[in-house]
Structure formats: C-alpha cells, structure tokens
Structure 1
Amino acid sequence: MEFGFGVEDEVFRGEVRGWLGERLRDGGGWERREWERELGKAGWIGIGWDRTRGVYGNREATLTQQVVWAEEYARARAPGRMGHIGENLLAPTLIAYGNEEQRARFLPAIARGEELWCQGYSEPGAGSDLAAVRTAAVRDGDTYRVSGQKIWTSLAAEADWCFVLARTDPGERRHRGLSFLLVPMDQPGRIEVRPIRQMSGAADFNEVFFDGAVASAAHVVGGPGAGWRVAMGLLAVERGVSTLAQQVGFAAELGQVIGEALGTGAVRDPVLRERLVRQWAELKVMRWNALRTLGGSGDAAAPSVAKLLWGGWHQRLGELAVAVRGAAAVCGPRDWDAGDPYGLDAAQRLFLFSRADTIYGGSDEIQREIIAGRVLGLPGRERS
C-alpha cells in the first residue's frame, strides 16, 4: 500500500487547523478535563475507531486523516491529552475483543471525553516481563476481588477506570490463567494511588495498590483466561498513528537544540555538528518507517522496530541537548518561590526524562527478543 496525502486530506488539514486555532487562541487556558469534553463535543475523539463493529465514536476519518489530526494537534501545541489511554488503547481493544454490552457501556463515554482511563500492566518484578504479573483477581459471585500492586501507572490519580491484567487462575503459570478486567478507580480503602517522584522532580507515574477492589464479572474483556491475548492485542495498537504525532514533538525538540547550538556557537564544533545532522536524518528515517508501517508493511515486528528506533533516538537527543550547552548544562536558575528546587530548564528536563525512553513501553531488551523470535525465528529464553 502506498501511503500519501491527497486533496481531501489537505482540506481536512485546513479544517483541523482552523478548529484548533480558534480553540487555542491566546493560549486557550483550558482545564484538562474540560478540554477532553470540548474535543468530544466537537467530534474529535474516536475518529480512528473501526466502524465495522458499531459506531461509538464521532466523525469518521480515513487513516491518512487520522495522521493529519495527530500531527496538526502536536504542531498546535494543544493541551496534553488525558484521554489518550482510553481513546487509543482501550477503545480499539474493546472493539476487537469486547462484547456488545462492553462496547455500548464504555465507548460512548470515552468519545464524549467524560471517562478517563489508566493502564494496570507493569508490576514490581513484572515490568517488561508482563507474563510474570502477580496481581490476583478472585471470583466472588458476580464480581471479582482484585488484590496486588501496579507500578508506572500514568494518570492513575485522575482516571475514572483502570484496565488491569490480573491472574484469575492461580493454578496456571506465565501467560496462562490471566484475565483483562475493567476496574472502577473510585473505591476508597480498596484502591490507593501513590505518586512516584522522578529524578527530574516531576511525578508523571504512580504506584497503585489494590486491596480487594471490586470489578464486575461482566467487565472481563474476552472472557476469563483470555487476558494474555487481549493484552498483546492492545500492545499492538499502542504504536500506531500516535507515533507520527510523537515525531512532530521530537522535531520541535530537535529544533530547539539546533537553535541553542547556533546561538552559542557550539555548531562550529565538527563533532557536535555531525551529531546534529545525524539526529535530523534519523528523524526523517523514522517518519518514513512509520508511514511505511501504517501503509501495511505486513511486518509483525514493526512496532518493536519503531520502539527501538525512537527510544534510542530520543535518548541521544537528550544527551545532545546538554552537550551543546557545555558546562552551563550542569546548573540552571532555581525558582524556590514556585516550589521548584530543581529549577530545570527544557534541555535538562529532556536529558533526565529521556533516560527512561529505552525502558518504558517495553524495554529495548524485550523489543530485541520479539524481533529475534518473530523475524529471525530464534528460540526464546526459558523463564521459570
């Protein structure tokens, strides 16, 4: 399939730019939940959902138009999405694996921007090795009682629901005996969320503790014991259209680093100049690879290749951002009055945050194992 943008796509691009420009005039000033509802009211949530199993989203859009929306949203520096996990991860999973009742209950609320989600996958000791999860869900009549701990959970403090991979059959091992449950987060005394403070000073992730939290038996996606199949299906859609929007953000960050190098004269250093050129060229290659994948490359390991590419690239950009600053990169203005003892500037935050790029979302080691098994046919490691 040849992936390209046509006349209709450019008309759509104009509509997107016009709507975003109108809503974000003078900075917008939107509260994040209010912004999600505004997106839903205008029909911008769920434009990429598969229509073959029911219409639960808003306006329809082709694949190229989905890319246009994602890229223009990033270019407009629109507010960070709180609904990303529900719209782009859970919704396609429900469309593929959920039943009609589950789709009718959850998809419209996501499309309206009214219910937010978080993801309960990783655990201490079961991060990249997802099959080692120990969170348990015990059947209790028409419900399950969920107990255990999840970690690195984005938006857990704000989310209304969490999709949780839990072990429902204690007699099974590894990927067998797991189920994919939809758990309401508003359960005081049964669910506790604790923020994780990062070395940058931010707290973008959380620990979540479940102590007998209640989940309806009707909210097990794919049925009991099908959790691994559903979880892997979700991970397959995690790196789709949003990857191209991510690259728009990468391009903006690279532009800032290049501007810094030009302003300070660091660009005259031939080694730094070569690194800047290489970052630019690699970003172009990542875009072409992402478009090729969306166009239907047929490569089962393509999402893993993409993750390896952007994780390493962004980490190297963080290193380059501080390299062009030289000695000045080790210090910065502190704003004690604003409660910011770190006082990090954009380059320092980029460097510190990007250290995790090769770990979260599936570590580089796991991505290489997937490529080795699915592409090269090599045997996997034995795990207890």
Structure 2
Amino acid sequence: MAKPRLNWGAEPWQDSEPLECAMVVPETSDTATFTFRAPSGAWFDYQPGQFVTLDLPVDPAKGAAGNVQRTYTISSSPSRPLSISVTVKAQKDSIGTRWMLDHLKPGMRIRAFGPSGIFSFLRHPAKKYLFISAGSGITPMMSMTTWAWDSGEMPDIAFVHAARRPSEIIFRERLEQFANRVPGLQLRLTVEEPDPFRSWPGYHGRLNQIMLGLMAPDYLEREVFCCGPEPFMQAVREMLISLGYDMEHYHQESFGAPVATEAEAPVIEDVTPEEGVKAEITFTESGITTPCAETDTILAVAKRSGLNIPSGCTFGLCGTCKIKKVSGEVHMVHNGGISDEDIEEGWILACCSNPMGKVEVEV
C-alpha cells in the first residue's frame, strides 16, 4: 500500500497545481465520490461546506466547445487534509458530471479552482444546528457533520434528509455509523417511496411542517442550513416562516450557483402573507365578496361570512377543505393533504391558503 504523500513542510494546496484523481467510489446508481490528492503532497485547507470548480475536458461531441467548468460542493472534511473529495450526481441534462462518471479514473489529472464559498457552519457558531437537505444537497451537510465528528466534541445536530427512495440516500451507512455512536447526531430520513421488497422504518412522504416538528421539536432554537433543489428549499423556507422561525438564522446553498462571497449572495424574496396588507375574497357560488387581510385563511373568512366549508384538521393534512380557485393567487403551505396534480388544476385547501390580493373561489 502506497504511503500517504502528505508533505508536512509544504504549503496548503494552491489551485495552480492540478489535482490527481486517487479513488472513485460508487455511492448510488447515478452518484459517485471522486477523491483527489495533490501530486506535490500539499495538504488541503478549506471550510466544511465550501466548493471547488473543476475544469473538465468534455468531448465536444457531447455538446461542449472545449473544456467546461462545473462547481461541486466538497463532501470531505478539512479535518482529513490528505485528500479532497466531491460527490456528484448525474441529472438528465448533465454534461460535466456525466463525463466524470463515465471517464474520470484514478491517475488522471484535472485543473481545479478554489476552494470557495460562504456556506459553512463555522461562519455561524451555534449550540444547536438543523441540517435540511434533499438529493445531492446532502454533500455540504456530510462535510460539516464529519468536521463535527472529528472535532472530538459531542455535536448537537438534527440531520434531516429527503430522498426519493432509501437506495438513493447518499452516505446513509456512514451517517448511521456516526449516529449510532453519538446521541448528539439525530438522523431523520424521509423518502417518497420505499424500495421494492425492502422494509423502510423511517419517515414516508415529502417533508412538511408536521414531519419537521416531529424530527426536530426544538427547531426554533437551531441554526438552520439547507441545501437542495430550489423548489425544495423554497418549501422549507415557507414551512419555517409559517412556523414562526427567525429567518436571520437560516442559511442555504444553491444547486445551480454556489455563492463565493457575501456580496454575491442573492436576496431571497419569498412571497408570504403580511400583516396589515389588504385582500379580498369572492365566493362565487354564494355571491359574497368580503375584504380581509393577507394573513387570514380562506376558511376563516368563509366562516366569518356565514359560509360553511367542510373541514377537519385545519392544518393542511386531511384534505377535507379542498375547494376550486377560480382566479387570483393564494399562498398555501400544506402538509400533504393535496396533490401536485390538484394544485395544477386550480384546487386549494381553504384552511391553509391565504389570499394574495383579489381571489375568487367556488364556494
């Protein structure tokens, strides 16, 4: 076995030196971890959660003119400085990632730039953390969790991850090993559907408010870090806002364009109901139009107007209060009581829908 080539007299790795692929480890059917070393023996210094940009010699026949640059979050931890790893997941339209999975082998060298990025819990020290991720958004969480493990101190991390199936949970075995040995790491996994012929003891369904409250009852006390597809992160933001979370303690990293500096961080402008902002609801079947506030739910306004909309749970779970929206926009944060297909067809849940301006509903 070759000895590690760490040169303790050397400086940390600089991106002027190409990286050499040392190992490729399959994670799931379309995901792999690529581990790199510096040929000079230089060591790696970065913050857990940061990213690197790889310069990939993609075949022009694949639709790229010359090399392409792709940014990947570092999935390894700087507490293990001999190497640096990225874990990549192929999407339908992947070019650079597809090339890596098909062609990048141990011994090959590529140029890399970085590390960079502001998404790291070291920048926001707290007593408790809540990591929320989906798909390959788990990679910065893995880096930060490994750092916490290697620090030698008992962590307090609620680690929430969503995947389509249990077999697609990246790093599952490693995370379970961590969680089995320290009670401070609370691993909470949810899947949209189980694998055939395999039992699943975890949560089942898309992440929602009720599930989040069960997974991390003290979420209001935790510093939140979130990474995943934008629709997933938007849903998480809406959940937290509706639950009264202080969004000053919320941090997210984008799949598409990781942020290198604070100045480049985009302003998140979620549309949410505001106190004191007026709205109006027209109940078309009853011929009643009534003014209200954006923070009122359609169910509450209907009851004030003497109208009866059948309802049950009143927090978007049972689906009893489903009604048809004729026009206008509503802000709806539900807990699984309505399908995406119903929403596309104009159905809403009256108990958790707030009118944004003028709205017409069939009641």
Question: What TM bracket, shorter-length normalisation?
Answer: under 0.3
TM-score of the pair, normalised by structure 1: 0.24
TM-score of the pair, normalised by structure 2: 0.25
Q: Which has the higher helix share?
A: 1
State the structure with more CA Rg. 2
